[in-house]
Structure 1
Amino acid sequence: MTAPTSRAQSGWKHDPPPDRAWKGRPGRARSAIAAEQDRAAGGRHRRSVDLGKGRFARASVELKVLPDTRRIRAYLRWSDGGKSPARYLGQVEHDTRAANLAEGWKMAWEKGLLTEEPPAEGSWASSPSVRAVMRANRSKDTRPELRLRSLLHKQGLRYRVAARPLPELRRTADLIFAKPRVAVFVDGCFWHGCPEHLRESHKNAEFWRAKIEGNQARDTETDRLLREAGWTVVRVWEHEDSDVAAARVIGAVRGLPTAHHEPD
């Protein structure tokens, strides 16, 4: 892996740094911004500031350029009771925003500003890594869901989000197309036991195996009940190519043959 290029190597010592070194893309969703910070920090569980008395805040690294010095400065910011404290971390000199964010998080840890938030009392997650996986696998408005919705909307399809295909059945689909009776589920690799990407936890292995197998059994039952009620079920893995997934959904809505999970 090639090491990030420094400012001195890249030749912008006497010029303003390029936007790619510190600016984020405009118009990004909040989920995309949070994911960028998670990657740079090494996981969401490594972004916590201890506020005392059992309280924690989720921090972010902010990059700024001072016009008079032409240097990129990194700051750690978080929220606390309506206020937004900030701590200066230092100057960063890499050619990419990702590398400079990672450097900022490293500085924050070296300065002792961060901590790994302990699990809540009674939490199933026995380690920061497991908590990170659980938090990353949100149940609604995940990045794969948003991307799929966007592609379907561009094709003129209209749908309901996070709704029950059968009101009397407590099973919620990520998307439903009422008239053609198509229910779409976007399944997370962790919670639904993706055969390609599931990494079994070494701690509480039996518990997590039972939990995931229970989810799979529930998925199978949901599919059966919906099919018996005249619905077509399309299941999409979160890792699946969005264009391929959208094509399967469009095919189902328009009456073409479709299937459950399909390999990439």
Structure 2
Amino acid sequence: MEITKYKRDSRSPVPKDEKVSKVMSANKAKDTKPELLLRKALWDNNLKGYRLHKKELPGKPDISFMKEKVAIFVNGCYWHRCPYCDLSMPKTNAEFWQNKFSANQERDKKKSQLLVESGWIVLVIWECQIKQGLQVLVSKISDLLIKSR
């Protein structure tokens, strides 16, 4: 039986458990399940014409409506520390994870601020919000697009 070694980027601590390494290496930065669910719902509701991960925009928003200047970030509750979920901190390597989460939050704030300063409307959608009510979010996005035209 061959043991699979997972790629590491040397920024994170060495996990004590191989299962942890497997789970962490499976996390994606884009085209996540919540993002795909939202995109499908937008498409199904005829809200088309958006762009994905535009490199030219600060923070490369997950979804961008260029003409209307609406940028949408779909944030995972765990990695971006959702204000609605009461998530616990990891017990091992706590200092590393506290620094990691703080840096993520600071980066999120900075990229949103840069977009707003450039005249963009920024909408942050949390993974838990997608699970709770996708149609409510689609309606909110639709209203934003109509107002910004």
User: TM-score if structure 1 supplies the norm length?
Assistant: 0.48
CA contact (8 A) 2:58 2:115 kept: no
Which AA in structure 1 matches 2:90? S
Greater Cα shift, 230-239 or 120-129: 120-129
Q: By how many angstroms is 1:248 displaced?
A: 2.1
When residues 148 and 125 of structure 1 are mapped into structure 2, their CA distance, relative to the original with a 3 A threshold, is: farther
Q: Percent identity, aligned pairs only?
A: 37
One of 93, 111, 117 as aligned partner of 1:204: 93
Could you say which structure has the higher strand fraction?
A: 1
Structure 1 residue 137 displacement after superposition? 3.6
Contact 1:190 1:197 in 2 (8 A): no
Structure 2 unaligned runs (5+)? none
Structure 1 letter corresponding to 2:53: A
- Structure 1 counterpart of 2:139, which letter? A
How much has 1:254 moved relative to structure 2? 1.6
Letter aligned with residue 138 of structure 2? A
Q: What residue identity is the alignment partner of 2:125?
A: V
1:239 aligns with one of 107, 128, 131: 128
Q: How does 1:1-264 map to 2 (within 5 A)?
A: 50-51=1-2, 56=4, 120=8, 122=10, 123-124=12-13, 126=15, 127-128=17-18, 130-131=20-21, 133-135=23-25, 137-158=27-48, 159-164=50-55, 167=56, 170-195=58-83, 196-240=85-129, 241-255=133-147
- Structure 1 stretches of 4+ with a deviation exceeding 4 A read 117-121
Deviation (angstroms), 1:144: 0.9
What is the one-letter code of the residue matched to 1:249?
I
Tell me the SS of whatever aligns to 1:183.
strand
Following superposition, the deviation at residue 133 of structure 1 comes to: 5.0
Cα gap change, 1:135/1:239 in structure 2, threshold over 3 Å: closer, same or farther? farther
Contact 1:161–1:174 (CA under 8 A) maintained in structure 2 = yes
Alpha-carbon contact 1:192-1:216 (below 8 Å) kept: yes
Verify the 8 A CA contact 2:59 2:112 in the aligned structure 1: no
| Cα contact 2:59–2:108 (8 A) shared by 1 | no
Contact 1:144 1:186 in 2 (8 A): yes
1:201–1:157 CA distance, 2 compared to 1 (3 A): same
Pair 205,253 (structure 1): closer, same or farther in 2 beyond 3 Å: same
| Structure richer in helix, relative to its length | 2
Unaligned runs of 5+ in 1: 1-49, 57-116, 257-264
- When normalised by structure 2's length, the TM-score is 0.80
Distance 1:174 1:119, change over 3 A: closer
Provide the C-alpha distance between the structure 1 equivalents of 2:14 and 2:73, rounded to a whole number of angstroms.
25
Please say if residues 80 and 105 of structure 2, whose CA atoms lie closer than 8 Å, have aligned partners that are also in contact.
yes
Q: Is 2:89–2:98's contact at 8 Å kept on the other side of the alignment?
A: yes
Once residues 86 and 78 of structure 2 are traced to their aligned partners in structure 1, the CA distance between those partners, rounded to angstroms, is: 8
Paired positions, count: 141
Aligned pair in 2 of structure 1 residues 138, 255: CA closer, same or farther (>3 Å)?
A: same
